[in-house]
Chain A
Amino acid sequence: MTLTSLFRNVSAAAALLAAVAANAADKVVIYNWSEYIPDGVLEEFTEATGIEVEYNTYESNEVMYSKIKIQNAKGYDIVVPSSYYISKMAREGLLAKIDQSKLSNLKHLDTSLLNKPYDKGNQYSIPYTWGSTGIGINTDEIEKSSITSWNDLWDSKWLGSLLLTDDVREVFQMALAIQGHSANTRDPKEIEQAYQLLKTLMPNVLTFNSDAPREPYMAGDVNLGMIWNGEVIMAQEEMPEIDYIYPSEGVILWVDSFAIPANAEHKDAAHQFINFMLRPEIAARTVDYIGYATPNKDALELLDEETRNNPIIFPSQAIISKGEFQEDVGDEATALYNKYWEELKTSM
């Protein structure tokens, strides 16, 4: 018996206790990124379906994955992994097949974001939002036109002042893009080169943040660095001087999708929840609230013109084709990325 199975048994016992304690009424347990759903939507879902919602949040794919793995894909009914984690989790048997016949609102989705390489035929995942990681800037402090590329972050004048997202793949993708390599490379040589380049960036880094990267910008502690586009949209409500730049080397693109853990206890409720979130009016509100683009084409018409034409939310086709979507790189390369990541963070 490995320790893992011992852990599994212990957590299974804990889950059993929890199941006995909980009342038998219908409920759905959601595990989502922090600040990733509009206020009030969960209450409306309960009102519409009578299903109670238990809501938990996480800050990184890694944390979510570890928890699902250790609980043997039990305990949560909905998770929202990024694309490259969908393929990893599906491969390891952690995700349940989605019954598309239960999703009457699936027809609203834009087919260009379906049937992607990380999940052919959308057997395991239904896209929720998509967005990008680019350069955040406070235009009151720094001239916007002076920054055009990832490479500009390496300038020694930014000593001890930048923010990077606390995400190994995104940070490496930045260096790989500068060196003209694929963000999804598995080549140890290319990964090592990117590591060497990132090492020279570390003196410029003030903080890592994947919790709410807009906050250090809004608090005035950071004026330049990486950020997610939706965070800029949220920040601009209070501080329009915070802006977003699509770096010339190519922006980092990602899709976050709904998925159901393999041993979820409320699979039917989970399907109902996904279907509810696919309603165009809910998807439109999601764009307004969290500032990320929706794959829901019928929601676009419900957005006001300004939002629909906002290049920070919906980048042009040229920017999309120049950017690169994240994909799974396999366990071996992942371990290598993580090893270098550890070295970067401990060498500061």
Chain B
Amino acid sequence: MKAFIANLNFRRLVITLTISWLSIFVLLPHLMVVGTSFLTADADNFAIWPITLDNYLKVLDDTYAGVFWDSLVLSGITTVIALGIGYPFAFLLSRMTPALRAILLFMMVIPFWTNSLIRIYAIKMLLGKKGLFNLVLVSTGIVDKPVQLLYTDFAVIFGLVYILLPFMVLPLMASFDKLDQSLLEAGKDLGANAFHRFRHIILPLTMPGVIAGCLIVFLPAMGMFYVADLLGGARSLLLGNVIKNQFLVARDWPFGSAFSVFLIVLMGLLLWLYYKANQYVQKQGGMDDQNL
């Protein structure tokens, strides 16, 4: 009984701690952002009354349609490439002996111990006119003159994929782990070839991992302003750059806040779609089981 009460107290403590942490450092700041987004910009005071919707109208202004579209395209390409690399990688990992798998996973995670800003600076050196990439391209005769890689969309996508790839691999791996090998054997016994086994068994069952991976790559990609600043040449390429400029350069906090809220709503919408898709996929999975 005593142990039970101690346990209960500990649970209360942990829950209180978590809730206060989230309230102070997540909920409160976000409420401040939402509140600010309805105020009026002012050069001397950051934000003043009256309440207005102008900031949201400004988000929909033509000026930002271009950035919005560019962000979507850059993040979309990043997601597709990360999926293209991450899916086979996660598949191979799931087929390996636990020891080998641990080593490979470890190697993927090690770079994460280094600050991502430092890694982006390293990429900058690799992609420069005198960098390793161009050195190889020129010395192998593929090009005569160093090509411009740095400060292009290519560099930004390269950096985003590099930074975000593990976020694609980890949920995919979890999906592959759950994949029941006996289903594949059964499919093989019943005459399904490799493609059919992939198409009808592996792909549907790993779909939750694919969607989760795509979401946690796609959404942060739109906000990673420092990647676009350093590798893209500080042009406003991503929505994150626009937001950063509003806060630090233009000092239009209400508009910057409105833009942030807009991005949060967009993320919420995508997460909701994920939830719906997940429900759908699970239903499909259940039906397949019945069919077997």
- B35: A residues at CB distance < 8 A: 3
Interface string of A72-106 (1 = CB under 8 A from B): 00000000000000000000100000000000000
- A21: B residues at CB distance < 8 A: none
Chain B residue at minimum C-beta to C-beta distance from A339 = B250
- A92: B residues at CB distance < 8 A: 44
B63 touches A221 (CB 8 A): no
- Set A207, A334, A335: member contacting B234, Cβ < 8 A: A207
Residue A152 is within 8 A (CB to CB) of chain B in the complex? no
Interface string of B7-34 (1 = CB under 8 A from A): 0000000000000000000000000100
Residue B247 is within 8 A (CB to CB) of chain A in the complex? yes
- Set B151, B249, B252: member contacting A221, Cβ < 8 A: B151
Interface string of A1-36 (1 = CB under 8 A from B): 011101100000000000000000000000000000
Chain A residue at minimum C-beta to C-beta distance from B150 = A221
- Set B49, B66, B233, B236: member contacting A206, Cβ < 8 A: B233
In whole angstroms, what is the CA distance A341 to B236 when docked? Answer: 11
B66 touches A347 (CB 8 A): yes
Interface residues of A in 301-348 (CB under 8 A from B): 331, 334-335, 338-339, 341-343, 345-348
Give the size category of B's interface with A.
Answer: 35 or more
In whole angstroms, what is the CA distance A3 to B42 when docked? Answer: 12
Interface residues of A in 51-91 (CB under 8 A from B): 60, 62-63, 65-66, 69-70
Check A209/B43 contact, CB under 8 A, given A2-B49, A62-B248. no
Interface residues of A in 201-230 (CB under 8 A from B): 205-209, 216, 219-221
Contact residues of B with A, CB < 8 Å? 32, 35-36, 39, 43-49, 63-64, 66-67, 125, 128-131, 146, 148, 150-151, 233-236, 241-242, 245, 247-252
Interface SS of chain B: helix, strand, loop or mixed? Answer: loop
Interface SS of chain A: helix, strand, loop or mixed? Answer: helix
A60 touches B249 (CB 8 A): yes
Ranked 5 nearest A-B pairs via Cβ:
A207-B233, A331-B43, A208-B234, A220-B129, A338-B250
Residue A42 is within 8 A (CB to CB) of chain B in the complex? no
- Set A2, A66, A347: member contacting B251, Cβ < 8 A: A66
B46 touches A338 (CB 8 A): no
Count residues on chain A whose CB falls below 8 Å from chain B CBs.
38
- Set A2, A3, A334, A347: member contacting B43, Cβ < 8 A: A334
B235 touches A220 (CB 8 A): no
Contacts across chains A and B counted by CB atoms under 8 Å: 99
A6 touches B32 (CB 8 A): yes
Residue A113 is within 8 A (CB to CB) of chain B in the complex? no
- B63: A residues at CB distance < 8 A: 342-343, 346-347
In whole angstroms, what is the CA distance A3 to B47 when docked? Answer: 7
Interface string of A288-301 (1 = CB under 8 A from B): 00000000000000
- B64: A residues at CB distance < 8 A: 346
Interface string of A235-275 (1 = CB under 8 A from B): 00000000000000000000000000000000000000000
Residue A166 is within 8 A (CB to CB) of chain B in the complex? yes
Check A335/B47 contact, CB under 8 A, given A60-B249, A220-B146. no
- B128: A residues at CB distance < 8 A: 219-221
- B148: A residues at CB distance < 8 A: 160-161, 206, 221
- A207: B residues at CB distance < 8 A: 151, 233-235
- Set A4, A66, A206, A343: member contacting B47, Cβ < 8 A: A4
Residue A197 is within 8 A (CB to CB) of chain B in the complex? no
Instruction: Give the one of B247, B248, B252 with max A CB within 10 A.
Output: B248
- A63: B residues at CB distance < 8 A: 248-249
- A339: B residues at CB distance < 8 A: 250
In whole angstroms, what is the CA distance A161 to B45 when docked? Answer: 39
- B129: A residues at CB distance < 8 A: 219-221
Residue A168 is within 8 A (CB to CB) of chain B in the complex? yes
A70 touches B245 (CB 8 A): no
A62 touches B44 (CB 8 A): no
Q: A221-B150, A331-B43 are in contact. List 4 more A-B contacts (CB 8 A).
A: A160-B148, A166-B234, A207-B234, A346-B63
- B45: A residues at CB distance < 8 A: 2, 4
B236 touches A346 (CB 8 A): yes
In whole angstroms, what is the CA distance A44 to B64 when docked? Answer: 50
- Set B46, B49, B242, B249: member contacting A346, Cβ < 8 A: B242
